[in-house]
Amino acid sequence: MAKISLLLDTDIFIDFFNTGRFHALFDSSSFTLYYSIVTKKELLTKLGLRENEREAILDELSRCRLITLSDSITARYSELRRQHPSLDKGDALIAATALVKHLPLMTRNKRHFRMVTGLTLFGE
């Protein structure tokens, strides 16, 4: 059976770290999980982050695949910001990453992304 590839929004990681929600997703060999560089930044710059929390975040991120910025992602980001000025900058970068890499986006905040044409969303 082929693995399912997903780009995870930052909120999925936060729920996993705070409550264990989505553990089946993180613990399953059926998924290839990706994250944007913006997610790494958002997770590691949390105010009051303790060293053991930082290590746990880095450990979990090491099991997923990082998508770094590319010219095509930044171009798509710029296009999204022009089309949807109300779209948060971080959300626009995550959406651009999903679009360029042809990955469905798993998020708890579908309403943040609904206006983005061509984006496949999973979550709430």
pLDDT at 60 over 70: yes
The region of weakest confidence among 6-10, 16-20, 60-64 is: 16-20
Q: What angle do CA 123, 53, 8 make, to 5 degrees?
A: 20
The CATH H-level superfamily of 4-123 is 5'-nuclease (3.40.50.1010)
Tens digit of each residue's pLDDT (9 = 90 or more) over 30-52: 999 999 999 999 999 999 999 99
Q: What percent of the chain is predicted at pLDDT more than 70?
A: 98
Residue-level pLDDT at 67: 97
pLDDT band at 122; cut points 50, 70, 90: confident
Euclidean distance between CA atoms 1 and 85, whole angstroms:
41
In this prediction, residue 16 carries a pLDDT of: 94
Query: Among 48, 49, 9, 44, which residue's Cα sits nearest to residue 25?
Result: 9
| Mean pLDDT, rounded, for 19-26 | 89
Average predicted confidence (pLDDT) for the chain = 94
Q: How far is the C-alpha of 26 from the C-alpha of 70, rounded, in Å? A: 26
Average pLDDT rounded to a whole number, residues 65-77:
97
Are 17 and 113 in contact by the 8 Å Cβ rule? The answer is: no
